[in-house]
Amino acid sequence: MRSLLRFSWRALALSLWVLLGLVILGLLFPLWTQARRQTVHAWWSKWLLVWCGVQVDYMGQPELHQPILFVINHVSWLDIFVVNQKRATSFIAKSDIRSWPFVGWLVTGAGTLYIERGQRHAIKHVAAQMQQCFAQQQAVGLFPEGTTSDGFTVRPFHASLFEAALRTQVDIQPVALRFFDGNHRSDRVAFVGEQSLWRNGWLLLSQPGVRIECVFLPPLRHTQNQAQGRAATAQQAYDLLLDQVEKGLNAPSRFST
């Protein structure tokens, strides 16, 4: 009963917040400067996480003033908002997210770069969009695993989109996400496998204790990245993230759905 009540009030608060976000996107974003949009984007993301009952602990310093490629391990749809709370970021995502109710509409309006899987020139098209973002001094977020994990490890990287940062002399900052249920590492809200968005929403909104640690690691400088090449840079970012994700992983709590 308590879980149902918690889910109900959180779902109501979240729905109203998402509706407010859609109104802001439709009516106010076109009138605002880029700087104002980014400020509101970060503020809105912060409160979305609050309404979801998620506590975020940040470590390290994100690059806030220069164009940057954030390279992040992917666990949940929450990842986007965790990073956005610190700096408004244009994320690269698979195209089917565009059709998700509410969340898909919001991330589309906020400037998500969609990659059409299976299309010949998809990588080149997204890379060109990334370079445009960098030219406008923006941050771009990349999940190089190409899918989500349970949050206890990092899947192998796809390195092709690292090239956009190398070509434009933009630094790359690895960002590690660790998910907790109370004080224990957990995969309870990991959005993996065939789980539906609705099921994942229930697991998130009906229970207390979701906490995320977001670690901004020192940026990989473009001079070194260009010297060692795309593959070596991707491997370096992977090794750094894997070390952070597996840190303190002695007795993870696995959640059975």
Q: Could you give the CA distance from residue 143 to residue 234 in angstroms, rounded to a whole number?
A: 12
Can you give the pLDDT at residue 250? 67
Q: Could you give the CA distance from residue 241 to residue 28 in angstroms, rounded to a whole number?
A: 37
Q: What are phi and psi of 178, to 5 degrees?
A: -125, 130
Can you give the pLDDT at residue 126? 92
Can you give the pLDDT at residue 112? 86
| Domain locations in the chain as residue ranges | 2-245
Q: Where are the beta strands (DSSP E) in 73-130?
A: 89-94, 113-115
Q: Which pTM was predicted?
A: 0.92
Q: Determine the CATH number of domain 2-245.
A: 3.40.1130
Can you give the pLDDT at residue 94? 82
Can you give the pLDDT at residue 197? 84
Can you give the pLDDT at residue 252? 56
Query: Per-10-residue mean pLDDT for the chain, 257 residues long?
Result: 92 93 88 90 94 96 97 96 95 80 71 77 90 96 95 95 96 98 91 89 91 98 95 97 89 54
Can you give the pLDDT at residue 228? 96
Alpha helices by DSSP H, listed for 24-58, are 34-51
Can you give the pLDDT at residue 163? 96
Q: Could you give the CA distance from residue 11 to residue 202 in angstroms, rounded to a whole number?
A: 9
